Structure 1
Amino acid sequence: MARNAYIFPLIYTSFDCMPQFLLDDLWSEAKENTTLPEEAKSYVLEDFNEKWKQGKYELKKKYFRPYQNDPEKLKELTVDLVPLEQFKYLVDYWKLVETQEEAERNTQNIAQHKFHHNLGRTPILELKKKVLLIEGKFPSRIDIFCESRPVTPETSNLIKQMRESISRVPEAERTAELE
């Protein structure tokens, strides 16, 4: 559903820009087809966001990058999975200098990350579900960080610092964002 451009258009630059009624429809559909509690809404939307972005990435990788220096070929290219007007919009967007500069910045930023997760292609949502089943509660961000990083002296030290920082905040004042 998340990769269906007829339901979730690809013309938005990010999932956050998508109209609220589409996200509400998505959540309604998910609730009708599952037994998910209301608390799972943010996880479901996060999962759909990842799948939607991955779909756009695969479209760009398969249909844009090989032909980006051949404008004639790009004009002729049609993709059955995506409405033609959306694909043309994406091509024009991907060709913008600002978009290409942002993509280059993102590539450089990712190269600077220190604490890479070791989940491979496993979505974070799957890890959250696993922790939920084991612990019986929705995991905090620090729980997910701990579960998804290899144990090294550097990560162990960072986790210790994060837990110490959180412990200094009175329990009544702790929020999900803090943890």
Structure 2
Amino acid sequence: MGRGPTTRSRANVGSKTTEDGSDKEPTHHSVQPTTVANPLIEIPQADDGNGSMTAFLALRKRQQEEAKKEKEEKEKLEKERVEKKKALADASKKVVQESMPEIEEGDEEEVVVPYRPRGKTRMDKVHTRSFEQRIVIGMNELGQPITENDKVLSELSSFLGTLAKRCVPLTYVTWRKVPKNLKETMWNYVKARYIIPDELESWAIETIHASWRGYKCRTKAAHYTAFETDEIRLQNRPDDIPLERFKLLLEYWNDESIQDKARKNSNSRKSYTETHTLGPKSIAQLRHKMKKNAPDESEPCDAEVFVKTRTRDAGREYKTSTKTMKKKIDKINKKNQLRGGC
């Protein structure tokens, strides 16, 4: 590195050598300048390290390239997912179209989308109810449950239906084959969730029985009758029935004697046209409300209950003909008018 410019100082003053070789400062004040080869000072070069704009821009460029690459990968995965979903939808649509009847051109019939029902009733709020939170269930003189709140009785019926599904396998041939101790266990389980009279035990067990039969009927219609072969039926097995039990059901329903019995029962059921229109509501609860709303709180007669539970709504479609029922109701009403009541 070159030296900088000299200044007038004692250090730069020339020394005089004597004859004996010793240095002595001159006695006069004149200064003799020293010649410098490169009088410019060498300044440090610019630091282009991590804190510079160049490094920042390089970092940003790498980040943008990585972000672009990541975006392209996400778009690729999303595109593959959409294509896969579309392929599944096309396959499902093809299956539906193949299973639907062909509609000729000019036919104005619209394709009706099937109704999607809600999920199965679980009644978890009742199953998890503590002993201290039990709800009181009353009873009428006919040994039937009644409550002041209709929802409580509907809840009880639905709860008993879940016991039929969870506790009683469908592999029992008839309800008589269900063990007695299992029925007693279910009744004790009901008493742990409701304050219910012991006299209603037979009603509760019979309600579970009816729910069990209905569940078995719906299972057969949806997973046996709806398909032609056992191979397809096994592929469409309900999730809540184990495989081995479902195989036993298929073997039982395939028996010729059982199929013949099922046809006779089905024809016998179709001949019955006097079904009530209350749905899951209780007839005993209806009688209780009719009695409560009567001016003298008298017990309603069977004719009044029959008319109340069999009257069809105008403009609504029913599976069976309403003409026969309407004639019967009109006949009962005329007799009641002539008698002045029941």
User: Normalising to structure 1: TM-score of the pair?
Assistant: 0.68
Corresponding residue of 2:261: 102
Corresponding residue of 2:175: 15
Whether 1:41 and 2:218 are equivalent positions in the alignment is no
Moved more, 83-92 or 70-79: 70-79
Corresponding residue of 1:148: 309
Note the C-alpha offset of 1:102.
1.4
Note the C-alpha offset of 1:81.
0.1
Q: Greater relative contact order (Cα 8 A, min sep 6): structure 1 or 2? A: 1
- Aligned amino acid, residue 117 of structure 1: H
Note the C-alpha offset of 1:82.
1.0
Q: Determine if contact 1:64/1:91 at 8 Å carries over to the other structure.
A: yes
Once residues 111 and 81 of structure 1 are traced to their aligned partners in structure 2, the CA distance between those partners, rounded to angstroms, is: 29
Report which of the two has the higher share of helix.
Answer: 1
- Aligned amino acid, residue 148 of structure 1: T
Identity of aligned residues (%): 20
Q: 1:155 to 1:84 in 2, by over 3 A?
A: farther
Corresponding residue of 1:54: 214
Once residues 93 and 118 of structure 1 are traced to their aligned partners in structure 2, the CA distance between those partners, rounded to angstroms, is: 33
Note the C-alpha offset of 1:17.
2.3
How many residues in Structure 1 have an aligned counterpart in Structure 2? Answer: 150
Note the C-alpha offset of 1:15.
2.1
Once residues 269 and 208 of structure 2 are traced to their aligned partners in structure 1, the CA distance between those partners, rounded to angstroms, is: 22
Once residues 19 and 144 of structure 1 are traced to their aligned partners in structure 2, the CA distance between those partners, rounded to angstroms, is: 40
Corresponding residue of 2:252: 93
Q: 1:153 to 1:26 in 2, by over 3 A?
A: same
Q: What secondary structure, in the 3-state scheme, does the structure 2 residue paired with 1:81 have?
A: coil
Q: What secondary structure, in the 3-state scheme, does the structure 2 residue paired with 1:152 have?
A: helix
Note the C-alpha offset of 1:105.
0.8
Q: 1:79 to 1:51 in 2, by over 3 A?
A: same
Moved more, 43-52 or 144-153: 144-153
Q: In structure 1, list runs of 5 or more residues that go unmatched.
A: 158-179
Alpha-carbon deviations, 1:47-70, whole Å to 9, x = none? Answer: 211221121122112211222x22
Once residues 71 and 63 of structure 1 are traced to their aligned partners in structure 2, the CA distance between those partners, rounded to angstroms, is: 10
Q: Determine if contact 2:187/2:201 at 8 Å carries over to the other structure.
A: yes
Once residues 88 and 105 of structure 1 are traced to their aligned partners in structure 2, the CA distance between those partners, rounded to angstroms, is: 24
Corresponding residue of 2:284: 128
After the TM superposition, which segments of 4 or more aligned residues of structure 1 sit over 6 Å from their partners?
A: none
Once residues 155 and 97 of structure 1 are traced to their aligned partners in structure 2, the CA distance between those partners, rounded to angstroms, is: 44
Q: What secondary structure, in the 3-state scheme, does the structure 1 residue paired with 2:186 have?
A: helix
Q: Report the aligned-residue RMSD.
A: 3.1
Once residues 62 and 85 of structure 1 are traced to their aligned partners in structure 2, the CA distance between those partners, rounded to angstroms, is: 18
Note the C-alpha offset of 1:24.
0.6
Once residues 267 and 181 of structure 2 are traced to their aligned partners in structure 1, the CA distance between those partners, rounded to angstroms, is: 35
Once residues 144 and 57 of structure 1 are traced to their aligned partners in structure 2, the CA distance between those partners, rounded to angstroms, is: 32
Q: Determine if contact 1:3/1:51 at 8 Å carries over to the other structure.
A: yes
User: Normalising to structure 2: TM-score of the pair?
Assistant: 0.38
Whether 1:2 and 2:163 are equivalent positions in the alignment is yes
- Aligned amino acid, residue 71 of structure 1: D
Q: Determine if contact 2:303/2:332 at 8 Å carries over to the other structure.
A: no
- Aligned amino acid, residue 280 of structure 2: T
- Aligned amino acid, residue 309 of structure 2: S
Q: In structure 2, list runs of 5 or more residues that go unmatched.
A: 1-161, 293-298, 312-327, 335-342
